[in-house]
Each structure stands twice: as structure tokens, then as C-alpha cells.
Amino acid sequence: MTPHERINRLIIIVLDGAGIGAMPDAVEYGDADSNTLANTARAVGGLHLPHLQKMGLGNLTNIQGVPPDPGCTASYGVMLEKSKGKDTITGHWEMAGLITPRLFPVYPHGFPREVIDAFEQAVGRKVLGNYPASGTEIIKELGEEHMRTGRPIVYTSADSVFQIAAHEGVIPVEKLYEMCRRARDILVGEHNVARVIARPFVGTPVNFRRTERRKDFSIPPPHPTVLDSLCKADYEVIGVGKIGDIFSGRGLTESIHISGNPDGILRTADAARRPGRGIVFTNLVDFDTLYGHRNDPKGFAHGLAEFDTNLPEIQAAMREDDLLIITADHGVDPTTPSTDHSREKVPLLVWRPGAKQRVDLGERQTFADIAATVTDLFGLEPWPIGTSFFSSP
């Protein structure tokens, strides 16, 4: 593909948490040894990802079972994050051209009393918990008491999140969502956490299970993103998965919610088949929520193989004037003692049907190179941050 050549549709797929090696500053985050893809491969005795391998994934780093391919079909590289943090919000915002210069607040000892008091007054109930925890573990610990008392479970993690868990039979999901909206209104100023997350669950004390009706209430982007520029120029911007939540619905012409990675892959392929011009922006969250945060390298490897198996369906749905970008937003190495995100570089694979020219895109200095590429490909005003993949030497 030549610089400034226009395209019909750009498909961006974010493999949530699929980092590819520690950032230069990872030691400051306690993540110096993190490499989600390489360490996962090592833990399971090698990955089998023939389609991603053919695109050049193995050209990026040493991934057991995914050797380099000198005749790969995609341009390839890695991207470094310029924003502070290792959160889903900062990663996606930066792809859309918005750098986050300061860390969102985190609460390793739980939320201060003034926050909890204000929340309890707003929802008319006392809370349980208020400490950092794994979501699956805290409902095991407090789920039975929650069912007995009706008190919502509040917890956080190493990320900037205020999470509220409730049994669907005790606090209906719409009521839980309303509680999250109240929390979002309270968490401003010094307590402007990146996300308030509804975590509904079902089942009995010996068999609790979180449901797929999770919902994120994110802080809105403080400035316009490249998604807003696309909408202003009358292009379609279709968000698949968590994208609508991540951007608080801004800069989107349509938001498609999904039930998991397989559904997300199917919905992405369906969107690619539609007529029209613009982008499809997809987040596949199962890598992060189901496997990374649970320190499950076998599950992570299964998720990667599942995506790889279904990748040809997306490629087959594309036209010759479409472009596909596969990347990630951060790491979540399932082989380290931590169950939280890891500060990592992310993979970058850029593929077009029938393209002959493949380029080593090198090590990009910001995720915002995606935003710069978007404005380049759609003929918009150049983005002030980042460098287009197709305009750099």
C-alpha cells in the first residue's frame, strides 16, 4: 500500500491484554519481567497460531511455537505507550490520538471514607468489602452475606476502578447500573477513577458465576479523539465490544455489544461485510477478564488459538480496499504473581487483501500512530500526535 492511498474500511481489532514485552519503564510499575505472549507460550509448551504466524507475529519477538516468517503477509511492528498507566482506557484513548499524561487514581487500601459515605448515602445502602480483590474471589468471600443483607459489594484492584458486584436476584441489573451511575457522579476531581464497573453475578454460595451483563461506566475522554473527527466527516465509526463504554459513547455512529470473543469475531466480520466507509473498532476482552486476571495461561493460549482459527472469517469478509490492524492495549501476563495489568509493548500487524508489499514497521513510539494513520488513510486533517504507518520512512 502506498502512502495516502484511500481505503474503504479500516478494521482495528484489540486483543485486550495481549502485550508482547516489558516497556522500558516497566520496572516502575513492577512489571519488568512481563511478556504476555512469550511467557504464555512458554508456560503451555508453545502456541499454535498458524494464521497470526503467517501475518508475522513471530517476527516481533521469540514466541515458542510461532517462528518468524520471512514471507509474512502483513506489515509488522510493536508499539510503545506514551501515556502514563497500563489501563484499558489509556491504551484505547492513545490509539485514538489522546495521550493521558497522569495516572488515574488507584486505591491499594480501598476507597476513603468520604467516597464510601457519599456512595452509601446516594444508594441508600451500606456496602460490603471496599478493598482490592479478584472479582471471582470477593464474591466467594462476601456473596452469601450480600444475599442475606442486600448490601452491594464494592472493591477495586491495582487498576483505577470502582467495581460493584451484586447478585441479579438481590439487586436487579438495571438497579445495579443505576448504582454505578451514582458512583460515577461521585467519583470526580481527585477521585476521577478511570472506570466504574457493574459486576452482576448469579448462582448459589457454592456456585456463584459472574454474568455477561457487566457494564463499564468510563470517564469521558477530556478532548476530542480521531473517532470524533471521523464522525464529523460523515464516516461510519462502529464500536464492537467494550469500545462504546471505553469512549463513553463518544465518536461512534453505532455501538455493538457482545457476549464474548467468539461473538465479537462474528460481529466484526458482519460489520466488515456491510456497505459504507469508515472504521470498525473491536475490543476482544476475554483474554483479559477470563484468562489474564485469573493467571490462566492455558486459557489465554486457548483464547489466542480460538481467535487465530476464526481470523480467516474476518479476512474473507474484507474487500480489496479494506485494511486490518491487529494490536493490543496493554499486557496482563498470566504467568507472573500479579493478577493485574502489566506495562507492556503491544503487537502491531497491518494486513490488506492481496497486498504484495510487507513492511517492517519497527518500534513505534506511541499508540497514537494509529490515529495518525487513520487521518492519513481517510484524508482528514493530519493528527497532531503520532506518525502514520504509511508516511514514515
Which CATH superfamily groups domain 9-101+221-377?
Answer: Alkaline Phosphatase, subunit A (3.40.720.10)
Take residue 88 and report the three cell numbers written for it.
Answer: 484499558
Quote the pLDDT of residue 306: 98
Alpha-carbon distances, residue 313 vs 159, 273, 277, 306 (angstroms): 34, 11, 20, 12
Instruction: List strand residue ranges (DSSP E) for the chain, in order.
Output: 9-15, 75-79, 128-132, 153-156, 161-167, 195-202, 209-210, 215-218, 236-240, 254-256, 278-284, 322-327, 346-351, 360-364
Tell the CATH topology of 113-218. Alpha-Beta Plaits (3.30.70)
In DSSP terms, which residues pair with 178 in a beta bridge? none
Rounded to the nearest 10 degrees, what angle do helices 36-43 and 297-317 cross at?
120
∠ CA 283-366-356 to the nearest 5 degrees? 75
Quote the pLDDT of residue 357: 74
Quote the pLDDT of residue 393: 44
CA distance 36 to 300: 9
Quote the pLDDT of residue 25: 97
Quote the pLDDT of residue 391: 74
Q: What is the pLDDT along the chain (393 residues), one digit of tens a residue?
A: 444 457 899 999 999 999 999 999 999 999 999 999 999 999 999 999 999 999 999 999 999 999 999 999 999 999 999 999 999 999 999 999 999 999 999 999 999 999 999 999 999 999 999 999 989 999 999 999 999 999 999 999 988 999 999 999 999 999 999 999 999 999 999 999 999 999 999 999 999 999 989 999 999 999 999 999 999 999 999 999 999 999 999 999 999 999 999 999 999 999 999 998 999 999 999 999 999 999 999 999 999 999 999 999 999 999 999 999 999 999 999 999 998 999 999 999 999 998 877 899 999 999 999 999 999 999 999 999 999 998 744
CA distance 14 to 283: 5
CA distance 364 to 386: 9
Quote the pLDDT of residue 5: 58
The reply to whether 113-218 shares the fold of 9-101+221-377 is: no
Please state the domain extents for the chain.
9-101+221-377, 113-218
Alpha-carbon distances, residue 6 vs 264, 310, 367 (angstroms): 26, 27, 21
Quote the pLDDT of residue 219: 94
With a threshold of 0.85, does the pTM exceed it?
Answer: yes
Enter the DSSP assignment of 190: G
User: Dihedral sign, CA of 189, 386, 246, 305?
Assistant: negative
Quote the pLDDT of residue 3: 43
Contact (CB, 8 A) for 157 and 131: no
What one-letter code names the amino acid at 293? H
What's the 3-state SS for 308-372? HHHHHHHHHHCCCCEEEEEECCCECCCCCCCCCCECECEEEEEECCCCCCCCEEEEECCCCHHHH
Take residue 27 and report the three cell numbers written for it.
Answer: 520496572
By CB neighbour count within 10 A (0-12 exposed, 13-18 middle, 19+ buried), where does 103 fall? middle
